[in-house]
Structures are given as C-alpha cells and as structure tokens.
Structure 1
Amino acid sequence: MYFSDEKAAGWDTPERTRRAAALVEEIRREIGDARGKTALEIGSGTGLLTFGLCPYFMEICTADTAAAMQKALGEKLAGAGIKNVRPIEVKDLEGEAYRGKFDLIYSSMVFHHIRDIAGELALVAPLLKKGGTFLLIDLDAEDGRFHREDKGFDGYNGFDRAWMAAELERAGLREVSVRTAFTGVKRLTDEDVPYSLFLMRGEKP
C-alpha cells in the first residue's frame, strides 16, 4: 500500500490515536509483565501502538513497507528521545538474523491489506522464540463500506475469525484464541460505518 509523505504526516488523527491507546491496553492485558522481553510490530506505520508499548519492553523492533511511514516514525522517535525502539527493513526479516528472536510479534489493521496471508504468516512464525506469542488485531468481516472511500484499496473486507484462526494454525501456531478487542465507527462522507476489531492470539510451540 502506497503512503505519501503528506498522508503519513497526517496519519495520527484523534480517532486513530484513541483507538491505538485502547489497543495498547488490550495488548498489555494479553502479555502481562514484558520486562526483559523483545517485540516486533509488523506494519508499524507511525508507531502509535509501539509508542504506547515501548515503556514496558526491553526492545521493540518495527517494520513497515511504506518508506513515508518509516520516515515519520523515525522523526517521532528522535523527537521523543526513545532509545529502545529500532526500525528495521522488512526485507531483513527474511534472513537468519531475526529467526527465533522475538517474545512477541503484534500487528494491527495491516493483514487485511496483504493479499498473501499464508505467505506472510510463514514469514512471521519463525521469528518467534519458542513459547513466543503472535497477536493479530484486524477488522472483522464486513460488507466493503469500511474502505469505500480509500482509493486503490485492493485488500480484504475484513476476515472471518474461524478462517483466520485456521491460517494461524496452518502456519504452525498453537492454542489459537480470539476475542473482540475494539468496536468503533468510521465516519465517511455520507454515512457512519460501525466496525469491530478482533484480537487473535497464537503461540509458538
């Protein structure tokens, strides 16, 4: 998905910021004490989730395919003086350096933009330590209105929870569970569209 510098600069809207704050608490509820642990955010954007979580982790790495988002995140990190968040290149995750490195991998509102879900999960699962946790937050299946005004969107209109749980299990994750993490309303030009996000958890055996 292409993000211009202008779009990245305006990404941190009050609505996204409020949602991120709520999701930070949902993630903390799942992971408990994270002192001494390492994490990776897939599709970090401008770092709204990671900024909320970094005080609780030893280190968080972030990865995003959008250069404009990476630039915006880097500027925010420098401005805030945050030292335990390290942006990395997505392509580097395909090598050996990060295999078995992370206690937690999390991603929010990213996977419905990815066409090859199985391929992405096949990349993610080996990056977890044994006993590590993958947390996927994404849009419940909907009728297409959520992205109706997003030009160029060619992803999924959310996901069926049972289907996604099966995909996590196919990627080798176990003890998969799912619950509702957030409900909200997206304001379009001519209507308000209610939506819900699920939080799916899988463990690396």
Structure 2
Amino acid sequence: MSIRDVSNGRESLEVFEPFMGKAGASAEAIALAPSSKGKDILLAIKALSDETRVRILRILSIAPLNVQEVTEVLRMGQSRISRHLKILTDAGFLISQREGSWVYYRPKDIEKADDFSSHLHALLLTFENNLPYSEHDLAKTKGLLKQRDLKTSKYFDDVAQNWETIQSDVLDPILYRNKILELLPEHSGRIFDLGCGPGGLIPYLLTKGQEVLGIDSSAKMIKKAESLFLNNPQVRFLESEIESLPVELANQADSVVSSMVLHHLSNPARAMKEVHSVLKEDGTFIIVDLKKHNQEIMRDNFADLWLGFEPELLTDWLEHTGFQVQSIEEVESQKYFKVLIIKAKKRGGL
C-alpha cells in the first residue's frame, strides 16, 4: 500500500500499526514516523492547548515565581499548579531552579533560543493583552512582586542604622571592597552604586570616580547615607527600585557596581537590563554576590530571595542582556559562603 492509498481511518490505522508493536514496518510507514523535532512541536502545541498553562507561562514571563506564588496569583490548588508546571517544563517552555526548599520557575530566554517552543512563546506574548484573564493576572503578579519588594524594603528600613555591623557579622565587606576597586577603571566620571544602603562603599568608589550616585529602594537607607555625605558635592542619592530605574538615567554611568544586591531582587535578570540601559557604551559593570549555597536562614534573617547564584547563570544573563564577561573570580570567606566577583563590559544596544 502506498501513501496515496491512505484515504480512510482503517487504512490510516494499518499504516501506523507497526509503531504500535506490529512487526514488519513498511518503508512508507517508517517515513510517516514523527521525528524528534516533530514530537517536540506537537508537545509544545499540546502544552499550550490549556488555558491555565497559557496563564502560567504569561505570568512567569513577568518574573520568576515559586509554586506557592503561582498558586496565589491564579487561586488554584498546589497539586494542580505543580502538574501544569511539569507539563510546561517537559515541553521546553520553562526552567526550574531550586533555592533551598523553594523551586522557582522561569521561561527560557526566548530571544536567544531557536527551538519551536521559544518561537511559540514569543508569538504568544505578542498577543498577551488578548490572553485569558490578562489584566487580572498582570495586576495580581505585579501586586505579589510589590509585596516582595515592600518586605525587602521594610527589612532594610528596620536595619538601616546598624547595617554595616549586621553585614560584617556574616560577611566582612573588606573581603570584596578592595577587589571592586581593582576591577574598576582607573578614572570613571560617574559611578552608580546599586543598593547603596547606608553608603559604606561610597568612600571607596570616590577614589575611582568624580561622582557617585547611590541608588536604593529603602527610604531609611537613603536618609542614613545622605546624613553622611551632606557636604560632599560629588555624592548624590536616589530612591528607586533597581528593576525599574528612571529613564533619565539612560547612558549616564561610566561604571555600575552591584555589591550584594542581586540576591535581594525579585528579578535579577531584569535588573541587568536596567544596568545595561544606564551604562555608557563600553561601560563597566561589577557584580559582587554570593555563590549558590544552602543556608535558608538567610531568607529569614537577611530578606534574601535567592540563595546565591551559579556563575554560569549570571554569565548567561549578562551575555543575553548585552554584556561581555571579562572576568569571574570566586573568593572564600571566613564563613560558609563563597563570593562571586564578576567584571563585564557593555557591548552595545539590544
């Protein structure tokens, strides 16, 4: 029987019987066997044939969330959400990332990947305003992220007066501050200090820059820092969320330093895009952060959202955002943490 002869349901079944265990598959039947890529395409289409999974993929495109947070946004049971997350992960849409007892889910970098699921995801987002419960899910997700940020800001407001002491009890800043200075260009016109806190790093940065702008989301941290630099015209401060910096800062910084900041942010990858936008061409970006660890006590005691990062993940985010990573160093601390110190250069606009 040739492929032309397949004209009704019974003949179709005869063609596909070899794939259900019947011996002696014909050449025509083998030709009709789905390829690996074909199976991936069908799996992706099937995964997005469900309204709940479309909603999940959309909200995770806003920011990484853990299972509990997804259930909070969609008001559904955890077992149901977990099943849908597994289907989306198996179909190639999501990546899971364990943070101690929590597991966060995030989409693949769809601008970078070239598989069918990434193209389908990108197409879906071009119609995001027409997706089921679009406005509701967007508002709920933004509200959840705002609560995250408020919790972090409240923590830092509460500890503003004693932050330097609290920080040194866990990880002495001297361990990495001198390294930051080594990696910064010898002369920077303007340096942005992201998550500046009470300003402990700023005197060091002034040795490398003509002007320092300290940025923090905590009003009390900013107030504390301002009181230390009242008569210094080289230092200014700005209260702002790091994941949404003011547009007027675009292309204003020669160098940006993020020292022990990213693990407090809801969306570190988004913050990197903001850094890219405020840096001048060939500007320097220095990241100091914790390497991946399992000390969950850091969540309760220090408002950490992420238990550090693998260097490969930070490198992937940086390169995808438009940075060229120039160096990565791991520094041992006197405690149980390792510190990652990364230098990157802005390659150009996205």
| TM-score, normalization by structure 2 | 0.51
Secondary structure, aligned partner of 1:82: coil
CA separation of 1:143/1:22 partners in 2, compared to 1, >3 Å: closer, same or farther?
closer
- Aligned equivalent of 1:164: 314
105, 112, 124: which is aligned to 2:275? 124
Q: Which residue, 156, 167, 174 being the options, matches 1:21? A: 174
**Closer, same or farther: CA 41–182 of 1 in aligned 2, 3 Å:** farther
Structure 1 or 2, whichever has the larger Rg, is 2
**Whole-angstrom CA distance in 2 between matches of 1:49 and 1:61:** 11
Please give the per-residue CA displacement for 1:77-129, whole angstroms capped at 9, x wherever unaligned.
12xx3321110232696343211111110011110011212211111111111
SS in 2 for 1:87: strand
Post-superposition offset of 1:48: 1.0
Deviation at 1:176, TM superposition (A): 4.2
Identical positions, percent: 22
How many Å apart are 1:148 and its aligned residue? 5.6
Residue identity matched to 1:117? P
RMSD after superposition: 2.4
> Equivalent of 2:160, from 1, 5, 8?
8
**In the superposition, relative to structure 1, how do residues 64 and 14 fare at CA in structure 2: closer, same or farther (>3 Å)?**
closer
Q: Higher helix fraction: Structure 1 or Structure 2? A: 2
**Residue correspondence of structure 1 range 77-96 to structure 2 within 5 A:** 77-78=229-230, 81-90=231-240, 94-96=245-247
**Separation (CA, whole Å) in 2 of partners of 1:40 and 1:66:** 16
The 5 A counterparts of 1:106-117 are: 106-117=257-268
Report the Cα distance in structure 1 between the residues aligned to 2:317 and 2:258, rounded to whole angstroms: 15
Structure 1 counterpart of 2:255:
104
Unaligned residue ranges in structure 1 (runs of 5+): 186-193
Match of 2:199 in 1: 47
| Alignment pair present for 1:60 and 2:176 | no
Partner Cα distance (2:271, 2:168) in 1: 24
Instruction: Map 1:115-194 onto structure 2 (within 5 A).
Output: 115-145=266-296, 147=298, 149-150=300-301, 153=303, 155-181=305-331, 183-185=333-335, 194=336
TM-superposed deviation, 1:182:
5.2
Determine helix, strand or coil for the equivalent of 2:248: coil
Aligned pair in 2 of structure 1 residues 179, 76: CA closer, same or farther (>3 Å)?
A: same
Judging changes above 3 Å, is the alpha-carbon distance between structure 1 residues 160 and 154 closer, same or farther for their aligned structure 2 residues?
same
Correspondence for 2:342: 200
